[in-house]
Amino acid sequence: MARLLQIVNGKPVETQGAKARDLSTEDEFSWLHLDGRDEGDKAWLARQSGLPETVRGALIARETRPRTEFVDEGALVNLRGLGATPDDDPDPLTSIRFWAAAGRIMSVSFRTSASLEPVVECFLASEITTPGDLLAEFARDMSERLDPKVGDLGDTIDFCEGRLDAKRAHAVRRRVAKARSEAIAYRRFIVPQLHAVEALATTSAEWVEKDDREHLRAAQDRFARMAEELESVRERSALISEELTDLRAEQLDRRSLLLSIVALIFLPLTFITGLFGMNTRVPWEQDIQGFWIILGVCAAITLSLLGWFARRHWLGER
């Protein structure tokens, strides 16, 4: 559904529905938001000859990445933030595209951004009066919503690092793999978004005022910090996975050593019992104490081997 927000005679006004596209925007400042899933909105956008063809194509492109590109007197801006309905979104961050110029701004989204309604509320509260204000508010809201999510990933890795134990290897590995997957998905968009916000913060366009640049630089700093944190999460996840693999290998080595020790103990015992169990005449065959003698020899061999293994520290760690 199309939404037109205008500042008329110093007051914010909102119009929704199809008529929002056809209203005159010759006022102090106007923001037209279109729904990319609405065929009427897309058809109306395709008829706008006043927009450069590259801009029209970029506004309705299905696959996009964050960027800022200056075209003539305006700027094509693509930002990504958390969605309002994450269960229905194929990507972890939803995209909203902007065409900004002096006195007006147009935006298109195919999914509902969680930042959309808060920014609309700011507009209706007369806190947004220029295109620069609007873009800075979107950048601020998106970065503040994302920051705790990225922080949670770092906390998850901290928790997993403190639980590196062979007994918990499977559970820890699952949590680390999930955190690493989310970090990679977020970083895919946050790093280019950092550069997009930086380009806005350093532009000389007149519709981006000094206060807007300060807010954009603050959002840029948060995105930079998040990008560093996500890179750290990815690297630490790889190290934890390697440590878990080493723990698993050590566990298998200990079990193999135990089996080898058991085999070494029973090897001479099997030889002795096999030798004296032959169907021929053997020593102590008629002696009633023969069984106990053989049993004593076997026990002595077993104790001797166990003592030797203990001295070699094969039965436990140093």
Cα R_g (the chain), whole angstroms: 35
pLDDT > 70? residue 130:
yes
Whether pLDDT at 197 is above 50: yes
| In the predicted structure, residue 318 carries a pLDDT above the cut 80 | no
Answer for the pair 112, 92: CB distance below 8 angstroms, yes or no: no
* pLDDT (average), residues 92-109: 91
Q: How far is CA 260 from CA 108, 152, 186, 312, in A?
A: 68, 45, 48, 14
Give the CATH class of 254-311. Answer: mainly alpha
- Per-residue pLDDT, averaged over 307-317, amounts to 71
pLDDT at position 28 is 73
CA 76-81-86 angle, to 5 degrees, is: 130
Mean pLDDT, the chain, as a whole number? 85
Where are the chain's structural domains? 3-246, 254-311
How many Å apart are CA 194 and CA 230, to the nearest integer? Answer: 13
Lowest-confidence pick of 94-108, 161-175, 232-246, 277-291: 277-291
pLDDT band per the 50, 70, 90 thresholds, residue 144: very high
pLDDT at 148 over 90: yes
pLDDT of residue 141: 95
pLDDT single digits (tens) 208-265: 999 999 999 999 999 999 999 999 999 999 888 888 888 778 777 777 877 787 787 7
Distances, alpha carbon 253 to alpha carbons 87, 248, 313, in Å = 44, 9, 14
What is the rounded distance in angstroms from the CA atom of residue 106 to the CA atom of residue 76? 10
Tell which CATH classification among 2.30.110.10, 3.40.50.10860, 3.30.460.20, 3.90.550.10 matches the domain 3-246: 3.30.460.20
pLDDT at 316: 62
What was the pLDDT predicted at 105?
Answer: 92
> What is the 8-class DSSP label of residue 115?
T
pLDDT digit string, tens, across residues 18-61: 777 776 555 678 899 998 888 888 888 888 767 888 888 888 88
CB 102 within 8 A of CB 82: no
pLDDT of 27 reads 61
Work out the pLDDT band at 173, boundaries 50, 70, 90: confident
Contact of 1 with 19, CB cutoff 8 Å: no
**pLDDT band, very low/low/confident/very high, at 98 (cuts 50, 70, 90):** very high
